[in-house]
Chains A and B, each alone.
Chain A
């Protein structure tokens, strides 16, 4: 490219990029003024997640796939680093400010394990977890755009039936806390890192700088989410709430569900989505991803490849399963794996094992569904 052409492109990019920054700033300010400062800050945190995850091309499903298919552990090292960094700050803070701040503590049970396993399969089919589906939809991936509404419907359905599933049998919520919890969590994370290192392919046993940076930034944003909202970063609750709002708008009676007819659930369905913590960060994630993809030169100009009909059907089914299973599993990669482990919940570790096993299956299934060439 000549210097003149580059200058012309830069000249064309400036107004668009300025407009993107102004629009994002205006959105945050509008929420601060119309809803409240805390809610504007949470939208800003969500935007930060979107900028970091799309800007550094970092996520959860991709690194797991890289480890399973090519034995590249760098992305998973980044997950462990980010979780460890959050745990070092969050666990003592939650212990000191119990009530003001809460962890992602949830019970381990049959449905929880099964849900995490199914989530792992579906996540690899559409190549996007909770945050990944939002990021990919915001950056122009049609598979994720189609999966997202079904993810929301599935999440609503999973919550609708949640008590039936938990009645199949579960332990009480078990977790670690304070500095002893930090020590136990860090030891476990290091053990997992050693296993991944030993399983890594020769020449791939490295930790990429991009991944280290992403881990540090994601950890900082997760801690900001905890401090501002009083609860850890989550995704799937917000998606289910959007579908619940849609269901009530269409006249559906939610009194048949113990979950959705509970007082706090009814209140959230009947108040602005901009008052819901996870909805705000979800919206921010998608807008942040759109901002980065639009900012990049030629970022949204790639042509979308044609996919067979069965790939679109598989996407719809996988979207429903992602939503439904993540509710039974008490979260996705974000709410259960990332936030669960970093705030001391045993269910986060069990979720990790079950979802990784499911991912191994999902990686094998994906080519047969027309979503990629068969190997």
Chain B
């Protein structure tokens, strides 16, 4: 077996995850935030490994 097999499996898995999840939980592109956070005036609100939820 060559490295082609695990590489292809990895890509298929991650793309399948994104597509399947999008099918179940579709996003609304009309409610998107500003293109860039810097200068947007909105507070940063993404999940991060260094932060604890309130």
Contacts and interface: CB of A to CB of B under 8 A. Distances in A.
Interface of A: 33-39, 41, 93, 97, 99-102, 104-106, 137-142, 145, 148, 162-163, 166, 226-232, 234-238, 241-242, 245, 258-259, 262-265, 268, 270-278, 283, 286-287, 290, 293-294, 299-304, 326-327, 330-332, 335-336, 339-340, 345, 347
A138 B4 CA distance: 10
B25 A286 contact: no
Interface residues of B, number: 43
A41 B50 contact: no
Given A138-B7, A139-B3, A283-B14, A276 B25 contact: no
Nearest to B41: A100
Interface string B17-54: 11001100111010011111111111111111111111
Contacts of A270: 25
Interface of A, helix, strand, loop or mixed by DSSP:
helix
B4 A140 contact: yes
23 contacts: A34-B27, A38-B36, A97-B38, A97-B39, A99-B43, A101-B38, A102-B48, A104-B48, A140-B4, A141-B6, A228-B35, A228-B38, A231-B44, A234-B48, A234-B49, A237-B47, A265-B47, A271-B25, A278-B48, A283-B15, A303-B2, A345-B50, A347-B50
Given A138-B7, A166-B52, A100 B47 contact: no
B33 A137 contact: no
A100 B26 CA distance: 26
Given A263-B54, A293-B3, 15 more contacts: A35-B32, A37-B32, A105-B50, A140-B6, A227-B38, A228-B36, A230-B40, A230-B43, A232-B48, A242-B17, A265-B47, A272-B21, A274-B22, A287-B15, A301-B4
Contacts of A275: 27
Given A35-B27, A36-B32, A301 B49 contact: no
B3 to A, nearest CB: 3
A39 B10 contact: no
Contacts of B42: 100, 230
Contacts of A331: 49-50
Given A272-B27, A336-B50, A102 B6 contact: no
A146 to B, nearest CB: 9
